[in-house]
Amino acid sequence: MKKRILIVDDEPDICDILKLNFEMEGYVVQTSEAPIELGDNLPDIILLDVMMSPKSGFEWAKELKASPRTAQIPIIFCTAKSMEDDILQGFALGSDDYVCKPFRIKEVKARVKAVISRSEREINSEKIIKHKGLVLNLESKECWVDGNLVPFTKIEFEMLALLMANPGQVFSREKILQTIWPNYYVTDRTVDVNIARIRKKICSYSECLQSKFGYGYIFRG
């Protein structure tokens, strides 16, 4: 399967060179000269220039990491040699990496390849969320309750996945709204209704889906 790479750099020349090179390697490449809104089809990796105005690459990266929807997208930062320390200190570099400008194309390619394959392994081993007999398969978008396949709608599935992926953490309605409905606005009561719908479907596990009075909802494993 072709990998999607998003290249963000305010110098069009650099975008073009990288685009050319990665297309030759079989990637689907999207370039942009500034941070953009990510659509439904998220890239597999982002190659991000740090020095940009008005919004620095760092700031945008922080935003991406803040949203569960985009948090897992690996980012490779492009930075001047003099900024190297900042990167190393400022970022955990969890699934991320960086290259210093001016970079060798070969190095960039190698790092992209390495980061993608690394994150792929991590994703593969996390394609299933499970608590006792309650199993979510994120690939097939199916939910099994004690061995029975239970039909879930999209919204229901995404909400349960969000909560189960972070057990023991309270999610405010607002947080849930922003994650599941990133684009348009819906009432926060909508969350309640969908929680109720999920509870009905997960039967005995409905006790795990608790409301925290005044705070929001939480999945207790």
Partner DNA sequence: GCTGATTGTTACAAAAATGTAACAAAAGAG
Partner DNA sequence: CTCTTTTGTTACATTTTTGTAACAATCAGC
Interface residue list for its own copies (CB under 8 A): 1-2, 4, 28, 40-41, 84-85, 88-89, 93, 97, 106-107, 110-111, 113-114, 117, 121, 124-125, 137, 139-141, 153-155, 168-170, 172, 174-175, 178-179, 182, 212-215, 218, 220
Question: Which residue's CB is nearer to its own copies, number 62 or number 212?
Answer: 212
The whole-angstrom separation of Cα 54 and Cα 10 is 11
Picked from DNA, its own copies, none, the partner binding residue 20 (CB below 5 to 8 A depending on kind) is none
- Position 24 contacts DNA (CB under 7 A): no
CA–CA separation, 175 and 169 (whole Å): 12
Return the residue of 169, 190, 201, 218 that touches DNA, per CB under 7 A. Answer: 190
- Closest approach, Cβ 122 to DNA, in A, equals 27
How far is residue 82's CA from residue 141's CA, in Å, rounded to a whole number? 45
Residue 88 touches DNA, criterion: CB under 7 A: no
Closest CA to 34 of 67, 64, 12: 12
For the chain, the farthest-separated pair of C-alpha atoms sits apart, in whole angstroms, at 58
Q: Tokens 């990665």 belong to which residue?
A: 22
215 near DNA (CB under 7 A): yes
Q: In what order do the strands lie in the sheet with 4-8?
A: 28-32, 4-8, 45-49, 75-80, 97-101
Task: State which of positions 127-166 bind DNA (CB under 7 A).
Answer: 151, 153-156
Q: Which of 23, 196, 84 is nearest to 210 (CA)?
A: 196
The contact set with DNA (CB under 7 A) reads: 151, 153-156, 173, 181, 185-187, 189-190, 192-196, 199, 211-216
